[in-house]
Amino acid sequence: MSLDAEKFLGEGLTYDDILLVPAYSEVLPRDVNISSNFTRKIRLNTPIVSAAMDTVTEYSLAIAIAQEGGIGVLHKNMSIVQQAEHVRKVKRSESGMIQDPITLPENAIVADALNIMKEHKIGGIPVVSVSHELVGIVTNRDLRFEKNMSRPVKEVMTSENIITTKEGKDLQLAENILQQFKIEKLPVVDENNKLVGLITYK
């Protein structure tokens, strides 16, 4: 079977073949649409795709690229369980907010908090009631000098004047709150003070 050369060969350009000369333009950056189709049903706001290589794309890069409008393809050089965990972490970080964040119940102890922080490499955990209402937040600063591993978390967590933001608020506003109050974790709650997400400063 012969191959159609025109299908594979044609004009090709690389970086050094094109030079953009700085000049005045009537087109504003915000008016430029660079969105592209990744598949027939998936459209990317930014046409950037990372390679499915174990030295390139794991959950952290996939999250970062997704937040910029692109997509990261996770590699398969790990077990199915690990792949599922990476996908879970990416999905939890949609739209710049961690959805369904890791939490602690009110009856948790210091040892529980430390184990979860170590396992998931995180520095703070929201504490919720049985009905999932936010009752506090415990950070590594609260636990840094704690010696009693059986001490209830509710005795060391921050429970008063917790800085939160409402569901649906702009991410830029959330970033301003993080900077204003010099905090690293911003719980997102609904109108009933139930935890719906967590925004972190990175």
Domain range summary for the chain, segments of one domain joined by +:
33-94, 98-200
Model's pTM, two decimal places? Answer: 0.61
pLDDT surpasses 60 at 26:
yes
How much is the pLDDT for 195? Answer: 96
Contacts of 179 by beta carbon, 8 Å cutoff, 6+ apart: 201
The single-letter code of the amino acid at 149 is: M
List the beta bridge partners of residue 198: 98, 187
Helix (H) or strand (E) holding 50: strand 49-50
CATH architecture of the domain with range 98-200: Roll (3.10)
Could you count the other beta carbons within 10 Å of the beta carbon of residue 63?
A: 20
- pLDDT tens track for 93-143: 765 678 888 999 999 999 999 999 998 888 899 999 999 999 999 999 999
- pLDDT tens track for 50-104: 999 999 999 989 988 987 889 999 999 999 999 999 998 888 776 567 888 899 9
How much is the pLDDT for 89? Answer: 83
185 vs 201: CA distance, rounded Å: 7
19 vs 5: CA distance, rounded Å: 29
